[in-house]
Chains A and B, each alone.
Chain A
C-alpha cells in the first residue's frame, strides 16, 4: 500500500467512525471526555439527593456531554469560607453552591449565566421573583438558582390538640398563647436564635417584617430603630420566656431536628427535613403512644403580625466561577441539569424538602403523593421580601445577614442582656456602619 492510499483509507475511516459514530453512540467525541467539572455543594439534609448527583447525574452527564462530574459536599456554614479562599487564590471548584443572596457578595467573580436562566424561566413557567432578586445584579444573572427550601413550622398535631388548640395559630399572639400552654406541659416550642445560616434568620426577618420593622427604606437609609421593631423585640422576648426551649440560643440548624425527632419540642420552624426523616424512619421515630412520628406532624406558615404575614425561604444557587478553566463545560452541565427530565430525578427524591425555582414544578405529580407536604408546594411564590428590604438584597444586606445582626438583635433581648430599646439601637448602629 502506498502512503497516499493508506492515508486516504484511514482518513475516510476515521471520518466515518467519527461523525457517524458520535451520532450513533449519542455521546461526545473523545477529545471532550477529559473535561471535568468540580461542583461544591452542601451536605444535603436529604442525603438521597446527594446520592442522585453522584450516582445518577455523574454517569449520565458523562454519557451525554462527556463531562466528568466531581461532586464535593461540605457543611453549608463552611461554604462562604471555601468560596472566599477559592476566589482569592483563583483556583477551586468550577461551580459553587451559594445560599440566599451570597451571589451578590461574589458577583465580581461570577460568569454570566443569563442565557441559562432565560431558557429555564421560559421553559418552566417563570422563575420565582425572590430567586430573581437574589441572583440578578442589575440585569445580569450572576448565579443560576437551583432550588428553594421553604421554611414552615413543623408541629405535633396531637400535642396541640391536647393543649386545646384545634387549628394552628394564625397570628403571633395566638401562637404565643398556644406556646405558653405547651411549655407549661413541658412541650415547648423550639427555635434557634443562634449564629447559624438557615433557621435563625428565616424566623427573625419575617418576624421583623410582620410587625412593620425593616432594615432600611427604599433610599437606603437605616430605619430599623422604629417603634415597630421595638414592639417586635418586646413581643419576642416575652414569647421566648413563656413558650420556648431557651437552649435555642445556642442551637444551629440541626439542633431543632434532633429535639423534635426525640420528642423534646412541640413545634419548630424548619424545612421539611424533620418530616422526611420521620417518614424514612417510621420504626425509629415514634410518638409516645407508639405510632410512627410522621403521622403526627403537620406544617404551617409563620403567623401574621400587625403588619402582615411574611416568609423567607432559603435559596440555593449555583455560581459558575470566573477563575474556572471549564466555564463552558460548567454552564453546559447546569443547562443539562435544569432540563425537566434530569432535574426531575433530583426533585422527586427531595419529596418537597427542596422545591423547584420555577412555577411549573408546582404542578408536578409528586405533590399528589403526600398531603402533609402540600404547604411546601407554593411557598416560594408567597415570598415577597428578601434581606435588606426595602432596598435590594445586595452586598451590604449579605454583610448584615452574615453578621447575624437581626438575629442577634432578638437574641440579646431574649437572653436578658439588653432591653428591647437597647438592642434595637445596637442593631441600628451595626446596620449604620454597614450602610454608611
Chain B
C-alpha cells in the first residue's frame, strides 16, 4: 500500500494512475507469498509427497506387480523385521554410513586445510579435486569394480608383481572386504564434497584470529582446535547431516559394485528394498523395507533443523 501511495505521490497533479487488479492482488504479501511458493509446493507434492504417501499405502498392502493388493496392516513390516537378510542389510547400512562419514569428514577436513593455503596452481587443483564428485556414480563405480575384479584386479596384479602378495586379495569375494571396498569407494567419491564445503567455511574465518592466537603462543594444533574448529562447526554439522542422508539411502554404488553379494553380505536397505520390490515384484514388502529408513533419516533431519534454529537464535 505504501508503494502504491508513493507512486501516486510521484504522479503529476491531475494524472490518474491505473493499477491492474493483478498488481493490486500481488501487493498483498500473503497472496504474493502463496504465489511464489505454489510452484515449489506443487513440485514437492507431485514428486515427493505423492510417492511417499503411495509407499506408505503399498507397505500396508500385499500388492505385488500387476495386482491391486489388499490391506494387511503391519504384516510387511513384521516380515521384514524377522527377515535375516533385512537385518543384515540394516546393520550394513548403519556400518557403511558411519565409517564412510567418518572417513569423508577426516579426509575432507584435511584436504580443505591444505587447499586453504597459498600455492601455485591452487585454482586448478581445487577444480581437479572435484572430479570424483562430478563423474556419474555408476560410471566411476564400474571403474572401481574393474579395479577390484576377483580375477583381473589391477591392484592385485600390482601387489603381486611387487612381491607383496602371493595370493589375490579377495576384494569383492569376501563379505567384509567387499563392505570396506564399498566404504572406500564412497569415501573417494564423497570427500570432495566435504572438502569444498569446508573450504568455503574456512575462508569465512578471519585470519586475524589465527594471527592473534599465534602471537599468544598457540601452536598449529591449538589454533585448529580452539579457533578453526569452533568456527567451522556449523558448516561441518550441515555437511555431515547431508552426507549421512545421502549415504544412508545409497543405492547405485552397492548395486553396481557388489549387487548386494557375496551371499547378501553387502546389501543396504535401499538395494534390498529394490531386490524385493522391483526384482521380485513384491511391491508391498519392498515399500515396507524402504520405509525402515524413514525414522532414521527423520531423526537426522530433526536434529539438523533444531541445530539450525538454535544457531539462528544465537
Contact = CB atoms under 8 A, between A and B. Distances in A.
Interface of A: 77, 80-81, 83-85, 87-88, 105-109, 193-196, 245-252, 255, 258-259, 262, 264, 322, 395, 398-399, 402-404, 408, 411-412, 415, 417, 426, 429-430, 433
A411 B67 contact: no
A245 B263 contact: no
Given A84-B278, A403-B275, A411-B263, A250 B150 contact: yes
Contacts of A402: 275, 279-280
A398 B85 CA distance: 17
B141 interface: no
B21 to A, nearest CB: 42
Contact of A251 (B64, B85, B150): B150
B190 interface: no
A407 to B, nearest CB: 8
Contacts of A107: 66
A77 B278 CA distance: 12
A106 B258 CA distance: 27
B173 interface: yes
Nearest to A81: B278
B173 A250 contact: yes
B85 A87 contact: no
B246 to A, nearest CB: 22
A264 B175 contact: no
B168 interface: yes
A256 B79 CA distance: 36
B65 A83 contact: yes
Contacts of B168: 247
Contacts, number: 119
A81 B65 contact: no
A81 B150 contact: no
Interface in B271-293: 274-283
Nearest to A265: B151
Contacts of A417: 175, 263, 265
Given A84-B281, A430-B85, A106 B172 contact: no
A143 B64 CA distance: 19
A252 B145 CA distance: 12
Nearest to A252: B259
A87 B65 contact: yes
A87 B64 CA distance: 11
Given A87-B65, A196-B259, A249 B173 contact: yes
A259 B168 CA distance: 14
A246 B170 contact: yes
Contacts of B201: none
Contacts of B66: 87-88, 106-109, 322
